[in-house]
């Protein structure tokens, strides 16, 4: 079976990223490896990854290797300054489940929006009475370089299509 809409896809891959600054591209460096011990499974059309990722995998079959690049524009885009905000430090108290170690610069805070959806923010600066937080995706501003192998392609079950995610050994359980 080839990768197509509503197929369940299992992959192993290494993701490397690079960035262009002052017209000089950095050497790609590895940020994620999904191997046979921890493969990435998703419902094609609903991976949550940039659209270009799925577009470049479409039509491939189980057992095939892949390697492709996704530019900043087709990945997570450029930094959005409006997603860098300052919030009062008292919103991140111990009573709310935050420890002092969590509030160190460079850490990612696990947060929820007003609708209960998980999100994260990187602490850019702890200014004592406030935190400067970056809500941009961690890979914003980077070109993505994927290299991997398609380890499984199968038809999604009716339940997987209804729920919008993979069930079973490599997905969520009902």
- pTM comes to 0.81
Residue 35 has phi, psi (to 5 degrees) of -105, -170
Does 174 score more than 80 pLDDT? no
Domain range 81-134, its CATH number among 1.10.240.10, 2.40.10.330, 2.130.10.10, 2.40.50.140: 2.40.10.330
Residue 94 has phi, psi (to 5 degrees) of -60, -35
Task: For residue 116, count other CB atoms closer than 10 A to its CB.
Answer: 6
Q: Which residues pair with 66 in a beta bridge?
A: 148
Q: What is the pLDDT of residues 54-97, one digit of tens each?
A: 999 999 999 999 999 999 999 999 999 999 999 999 999 889 88
Q: Domain coordinates of the chain in residue numbers?
A: 7-77+139-163, 81-134
Architecture of domain 7-77+139-163: Roll (3.10)
Q: Give CA–CA dist 174/171, Å, rounded.
A: 9
């Amino acid at each position: 079976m080839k990768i197509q809409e509503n197929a369940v896809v299992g992959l192993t891959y290494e993701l490397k990223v690079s960035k262009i600054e002052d017209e000089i591209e950095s050497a790609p460096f590895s940020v994620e490896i999904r191997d046979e011990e921890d493969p990435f499974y998703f419902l094609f059309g609903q991976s949550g990854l940039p659209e270009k990722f799925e577009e470049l995998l479409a039509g491939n079959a189980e057992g095939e290797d892949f390697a492709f690049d996704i530019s900043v524009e087709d990945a997570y885009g450029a930094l959005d300054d409006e997603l860098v905000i300052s919030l009062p430090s008292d919103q991140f108290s111990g009573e709310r489940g935050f420890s002092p170690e969590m509030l160190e610069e460079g850490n990612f805070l696990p947060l929820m929006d007003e609708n209960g959806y998980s999100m994260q923010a990187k602490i850019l600066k702890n200014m004592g009475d406030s935190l400067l937080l970056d809500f941009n995706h961690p890979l914003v501003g980077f070109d993505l370089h994927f290299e991997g192998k398609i380890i499984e392609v199968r038809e999604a079950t009716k339940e997987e299509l209804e729920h919008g995610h993979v069930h079973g050994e490599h997905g969520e359980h009902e």
